Structure 1
Amino acid sequence: MFSLPQPDAGTESYDGCLLVKLYDDPLHMKLFLLSVFSSYEFLITKCTTHDYATILRVAVKYQADGLRKRIISILQCIYPDNLQAYDKVHRVGVQFATTNLLHRLPLDDLESHIAIINVAREADAEVLLPAAMMRLLQRDFETLVVAARTSGLDATLVLEALPGLSALAREHSFGMFYSTEMRISDQCFSDKACSRVRRLVVEHLERPGLAHVAGPFAVVGFSQGKLGYNSCQACRSTCQLWYENGRKAAWEELPACFKLPAWSVLRERAMQVDGESRAEQGASSGAAA
């Protein structure tokens, strides 16, 4: 009764060990195994964004939770969950400096963004989605429609976020220009000029060809002459303070634009043991039924 169970006669084995057939793509499995058994340096220096998406998918399938968390942590350098880091990546442009270990990864590659978006939900990595979606929305609509046809992207979900993003911009980031108050600042000493500036800025933000500029996280300057801010110093200071605080408030509400829960929930899901959130969702569904 204490003997080890033996495979049935005729069962395929190698050197006495039972062989288990895997039906994954060999290249995908190779990436997965290299990620599991190689050093952390392999993940940082050898993988592409598409590789990360592949590893995430396989890691979820085989419940390699530690690996899934490491991949999410790496990808958060590109798709961060806080506004300060998001702005930093935006300022970098298309690629990190060569001193950064992730300098090989493109920061403005459409296919890379789509690969992460397509895998994020099944890997409990939705914490990456808001920043990735915002990256997509910097492209024109025609590009997104074509991408949806060729890559499996749910462009509807991305485009449906536009009204919500516009509302965040109007209410928070640029709310001072849409205010019904007669003056931007109580200390304004040039009512006529500052009112004209307000109208010019609103016209600029509403131009269809500059839809991405009107987003709630558009980076603008408030020095004299920037984006028509040729208003008095008091109004410029008020606008800048409102803008900075408004962007922070808009960031906290960003996930809802993409039909996602709050940032705190997304962060918790990303760090949960694989399958926990799905089990909780299943329990919630059962209770609701």
Structure 2
Amino acid sequence: MADDSRSTGTDGASATESTAPLTRSAEYWFDDGNIILQVESTQFRLVKSILSMHSSVFSDMFTIPLPAYEPTIDNCPVVVLSGDTAQDWTLFLGVIFPKSYSTKLPPFRLVAAMLRLSKKYDFPLFRHDCVRRLKQEFPTSLAEYNKVSNRWTFLTTGGQSIKLAVISLAKEIGLPSILPINYLLIITDYKGSAMQKILDPNNQSVNASDRIACLLGYTKLLKLQSTTMFAWLNCQENSREIPSETCSRRHHCTAAVSKIFVDSFNPHAEVWILSGWNEDWDSDLCSSCGEKAKGIYDAGRETCWQQLPAVLGLPDWE
């Protein structure tokens, strides 16, 4: 909920009181504004009708009569918004009061700011758009993921690793459906910065539940994919899938299985769920064995995806 105390924060402090000197926003201080929002030490002079048009919280707030003794600035009432950041509001106001029309994909930090504020102050239009983007970027089906793959399609990252930030945001705004794939992105990128932060026991910025999900998920997924996606690499005589019954080069394909196993999992055991079939394996196997192995791989990949939430200790996709 927004702070309904108008010119006081949740601690009852006066709007003009602040641990840092108050400053007026250089971008969002409108001469014809009739309401001042104070966030941290920054004040924004805005227009009530615009805020009310987008937000039911502000619409309701502005219907409350202003007490006669309430202090004002330039004849404008002041509302202190506790718990928000001036950076989030500056980003968000750039969408509400755009200076130009842009078709560019929004950066993640803007999407995050919009989601935090749109949830708190009920800006449904902005929230729905941002939720849609995140759900499309991090889908719940493998078929939809194959369409976006490793490309950023619905937002941009500014060249930064955002996996842990997305997980934190998902928990904050109540969007659990995007958690499994973001954990998986960390697990599959075992050399990436996010995984390195997860592995560092001294990193206090990493949530313990996130560390557990990634570390246990990694070991469980390795075991799961070995019995599903990579069942065709099993060299035991009684459960060997390759060579196939119609193999035309049995000795060659038997040797190829060993070669593929070494090339794919040495020196590091990787989680392959997000990776499609490696076409180089087709050149190592005969057409019959390649077709059978690919069928096992694709079916196993779908099985791993469906079991992914459970492996990570999360509710199922539905």
TM-score by length of 1: 0.69
State which of 112, 115, 119 in structure 2 corresponds to 1:56: 115
State which of 91, 99, 116 in structure 2 corresponds to 1:31: 91
State which of 94, 102, 115 in structure 1 corresponds to 2:165: 115
Does the aligned pair in 2 maintain the 1:165–1:215 contact within 8 Å? no
Distance change in 2, residues 1:233/1:5 (3 Å):
closer
Q: Shift of the alpha carbon at 1:242?
A: 1.4
Q: Shift of the alpha carbon at 1:230?
A: 2.2
The one-letter code matched in structure 1 to 2:156 is: L
Question: Could you tell me how far apart the structure 2 residues matched to 1:227 and 1:108 are?
Answer: 32
Unaligned runs of 5+ in 2: 1-62
Question: Could you tell me how far apart the structure 2 residues matched to 1:114 and 1:240 are?
Answer: 33
1:82 aligns with 2:141: yes
Question: Could you tell me how far apart the structure 2 residues matched to 1:45 and 1:68 are?
Answer: 18
TM-score by length of 2: 0.64
Distance change in 2, residues 1:35/1:150 (3 Å):
farther
Structure 1 moving runs of 4+ over 6 Å:
14-17
Matches within 5 A, 1:127-276: 127-140=177-190, 143=193, 144-146=195-197, 149=203, 151-152=205-206, 154-178=210-234, 180-184=238-242, 185-209=244-268, 211-212=269-270, 214-222=271-279, 226-227=280-281, 230-264=284-318
Question: Could you tell me how far apart the structure 2 residues matched to 1:261 and 1:221 are?
Answer: 31
Q: State the superposition RMSD in angstroms.
A: 3.4
Distance change in 2, residues 1:263/1:51 (3 Å):
same
Distance change in 2, residues 1:164/1:63 (3 Å):
farther
Question: Could you tell me how far apart the structure 1 residues matched to 2:92 and 2:226 are?
Answer: 45
Q: Shift of the alpha carbon at 1:190?
A: 3.3
Question: Could you tell me how far apart the structure 1 residues matched to 2:147 and 2:65 are?
Answer: 58
Of Structure 1 and Structure 2, the greater strand share is in 2
Query: Which of structures 1 and 2 has the larger relative contact order (alpha carbons within 8 angstroms, sep 6+)?
Result: 1
* % identical equivalent positions: 21
Tell which structure's C-alpha radius of gyration is larger: 2
Does the aligned pair in 1 maintain the 2:115–2:127 contact within 8 Å? yes
Does the aligned pair in 2 maintain the 1:190–1:232 contact within 8 Å? yes
Q: What secondary structure, in the 3-state scheme, does the structure 1 residue paired with 2:91 have?
A: helix
Q: What secondary structure, in the 3-state scheme, does the structure 2 residue paired with 1:109 have?
A: coil
Q: What secondary structure, in the 3-state scheme, does the structure 2 residue paired with 1:164 have?
A: helix
Q: What secondary structure, in the 3-state scheme, does the structure 1 residue paired with 2:284 have?
A: coil
Q: Shift of the alpha carbon at 1:65?
A: 4.5
Does the aligned pair in 2 maintain the 1:197–1:228 contact within 8 Å? no
Does the aligned pair in 1 maintain the 2:188–2:272 contact within 8 Å? no
